[in-house]
Structure 1
Amino acid sequence: MEKRQIIEAGPGIASGLRDLFKYLNLKTASAGLVAAIFGCSGPALIVIGAANKAGLSNGQTVAWLFAIYFLGGLISLFLALRYKQPVTGAYSIPGAALVAGSLAAFSFDQAVGAFIMAGIIVFLLGISGLIGKVMRWLPMPIVMAMIAGALIRFATGAVSALGTAPIIAGAAIVAFFVSMRFVKTVPPVLAAFVVGLIAAFATGSVGGGSAEIAFVMPEFTAPTFTLDAFLAISVPLALLVIGAENAQATGVLMAEGYRPPINMMTIISGIGGIAAGFLGGHNANIAGPMTAICSSEQAGEDKEGRYAATVVNGILFGAFGLVAGAAVPVVMSLPGALIGTVAGLAMIGVLLAAFQNAFGRSLGNQTGAFVALAVAMSNISLMGISAPFWALVAGVVVSFIVERDALISAQAAPSKAS
């Protein structure tokens, strides 16, 4: 039996750079652009809202944005080029919501200390190889059902946008499917974005967004380490990074036929958490939804080249972090209905693969998979940990109770393969 390395080997950055321009095309570039617009719009407002609620200065807010966007972009570039897979970096969106609530009870310097400690937890779990073992142990139907449940809200969000902005969302949706059927040279997701943007301009919907910060220099905060902040912020934030973002991204990549470097993804998320914490941000890690966009068929038919979409996204993400104070108002001028519709359309291929791999007739663990789907769709949050983590837990527990033989068979398969 071959011994598995803790840090997975990959083709290497030199190989990734050498082949990059071969795969850089309209489809990979447009998928990377859509993922970046998604990550730089609504999620940025969550961070800005948390900072405003906590009374942070404009400089501290910009430092927070710089930390998570610039480092998230670096994570994308490093992992995409090293492994030639669309492993996309960003930050934990539910983690930002968690921090927003915690800042009512803790000073920002205590929160910064907790951010660093969360990164250390994630790093240790990655370097130990534990996360890789757990992910290989989980039955694939349950993981895929969790992915389907976690991402289905993006697809339904595209439909809901028809109710709030029928012209913008409708134009984008029609353009997507017409392009898919008749215009093979233009990526459907790019056609949807361009046509939706034209509709937004035509209806006067561009320019309504705003951000309450101006272009100022980042102001960094010295950390303070306390046990209370460790228990209230560090532990749940670390679990969110691993159980929501990394698990989602891993499942998405598996659904698309990749062998993701699970341990390295965890290690780099830990390093990103530590570095972002010292800069005043809550975590820089692997991004579930953005990995889904960059790994989907919208990034090109050749899955070997989809890592170029992540490279494009990483460059845009990093640039956004460098000019966050000026860039946020520009991105937020785009209507939310357009961003939500295009993101939902980009998820179609990933969702199809996830459902097929979760509920195929020949697969076991169907009851556990259905429970995982329902829990992930519920968007429940317990003890500060979001639904994807609890979906995996509930799916495995139910499968153990009602379909134990199928669960044992699924868990034995990885060990035979190794």
Structure 2
Amino acid sequence: MSIKHILKDISPSTISAGLVAVLVGFASSVAIVFQAAQAAGADNHMMVSWILALGIGMGITCFGFSIWYRIPIITAWSTPGAALLAVSLTDVPIAQAIGAFVFCGLLIFLLGISGLFNRIMKYLPLPIAAAMLAGILFKFGLNVFISSEQHLGLIASMLVAYILGKRVLPRYAVLLVLAVGLVFCLLFYAPDTTQLVWHWPTPVWVTPAFDLNILLGTGLPLFIVTMASQNVPGVATLKASGYQDLPLSPIMTGTGLTTMLLAPLGGFTFNLAAITAAICTNEESHTDPAKRYIAGLAAGVFYFTVGIAGAWLIALFTALPASFIAALAGIALFSTIANSLYAATSDAQYREAAIVTLLITASGMQLAGIASPFWGLIGGMMTHLLLSRN
């Protein structure tokens, strides 16, 4: 693909979609990554290294996959995986924790190179996948209005900006929401900017050590959680947006390899994104699905920038009200939630199974340490199989 062709496809809406995806993905869960790093015994220098490794890994995979396949393929760290690590790495030597990350990456790599994940996903009906996605995103939509209890003026101004943007400039509605929200925060909340000090991050290498108990007790659950709670919903997000022919095996292989290479620097997992991917794959990104890959390229550049400027951006994000991030995420996902609900319930053959999937996923339940999207998928598939039996 030529540079001229890429420049022709660039639009402000796709760039803003990539920016919002990175802003939401980073700010909404970076605290969990810090908790995981602290549980592993990482000091401040190591934490900065973790952000550097994660930013570089997500930047390279987002940009590389998106430009190669011309699909907005958004990658992310595993937020459920980080939550798992935050409670399972206590008293685990950091070298053995890194070994568990490498092991998880190896399992993802083997699942991708074998083609097994691609074959499994072919049997997942679109309505059930869409219902799972709607269940994942539902709480983000609710959080917009829950946040108004504390910051009514901020949330109201962002909602008005979205509605007016959809009426006048629908492709740039989310960008308008971002701008209005930032201006409101600067005018009325006076965020603390004293900690916004720039310095270059330094990677910290930790040679992995392998302990069988840690590999089975932490590495294997990390793999299961990442596949069930991130990669499966990530595929559902792309398919619900109309990208049916996905190069799943190369993506799994690539993210697994990236995890193995960057784990010693703190890149604990790389996988398909679901929530942030939905921001880049919907109509607000671009009305033409063939040009939404630019949002993936933009996300890659912004993720790489986040990695380089990790310490500075961490201070910036923590200075903004949490309600701003929650509202920005939810509003950016309104149309995706609506489209997912339509795809989930429009086919009467799958309607009951889709509702079961939606409710289980939205409940947030956890069984055996595995998050609700996996159990929603299981419940929906079982419901469909039982109802479709002659």
TM interval, short-chain normalised:
over 0.9
1:41 equivalenced with 2:27 (yes/no) = yes
Q: Which runs of 5+ in 2 are unaligned?
A: none
**Structure 1 residues 54 and 128, CA gap change in structure 2 (3 angstroms):** closer
CA deviation map 1:206-240 (0-9, x unaligned): 23897999865232211111111111221121122
Q: 1:255-404 counterparts in 2 under 5 A?
A: 255-259=240-244, 260-360=246-346, 362-404=347-389
Question: How far, CA to CA, are the matches of 1:90 and 1:330 in structure 2?
Answer: 20
CA contact 1:80–1:87 (8 Å) conserved in 2: yes
Within the alignment, does 1:227 sit opposite 2:212 as a pair?
yes
What is the CA–CA distance in structure 2 between the aligned matches of 1:372 and 1:276, rounded to whole Å?
35
Greater mean deviation of Cα atoms: 76-85 or 280-289? 280-289
Q: How large is the RMSD of aligned CA atoms in angstroms?
A: 2.1
In the alignment, which of 188, 200, 225 is matched to residue 203 of structure 1?
A: 188
Aligned to 1:191: 176
Q: Which residue is equivalent to 1:408?
A: none
Bigger mean CA deviation after superposition, 110-119 or 18-27: 18-27
Query: Which residue is equivalent to 2:239?
Result: 254
Deviation at 1:83, TM superposition (A): 0.7
Alpha-carbon offset, residue 387 of structure 1: 1.4
User: What is the aligned partner in structure 2 of residue 217 from structure 1?
Assistant: 202
In 2, are the aligned partners of 1:222 and 1:278 still within 8 Å (CA)?
A: yes
Give the TM-score taking structure 1 as reference length: 0.88
Identity %: 30
The answer (yes or no) to whether the contact 1:188–1:298 under 8 Å persists in 2 is yes
1:248-276 alpha-carbon deviations (Å, 9 max, x no partner) = 12111111111222222222221122122
Greater shift, 320-329 or 396-405, is seen at: 396-405
Matched residue SS, 1:258:
coil
Give the stretch that moved more between structures: 200-209 or 91-100: 200-209
Classify the secondary structure of the residue corresponding to 2:122.
helix
- Could you say which residue in structure 2 is the equivalent of 1:4? none
| 8 Å contact from structure 1 (residues 296, 346) kept in 2 | no
Count of paired positions: 389
Tell me if structure 1 keeps the 8 A contact 2:39–2:85. no
Change (3 A) 1:338 1:283: same
Partner SS state of residue 349, structure 2: coil
Provide Cα deviations, 1:269-300, integer angstroms capped at 9, x if missing partner: 21122122132221122211111111111111
Q: Distance in 1 between matches of 2:348 and 2:35?
A: 44
Partner amino acid, structure 1, of 2:315 = P
Partners of 2:98 and 2:41 in 1: how far apart? 15
Query: What's the CA shift string for 1:64-115, capped at 9, x where partnerless?
Result: 1111111011110011001111111121111111111111142211110000
Residue 104 of structure 2 corresponds to residue 154 of structure 1: no
Partners of 2:162 and 2:174 within 8 A in 1: yes
Unaligned stretches of 5+ residues in structure 1: 1-13, 406-418
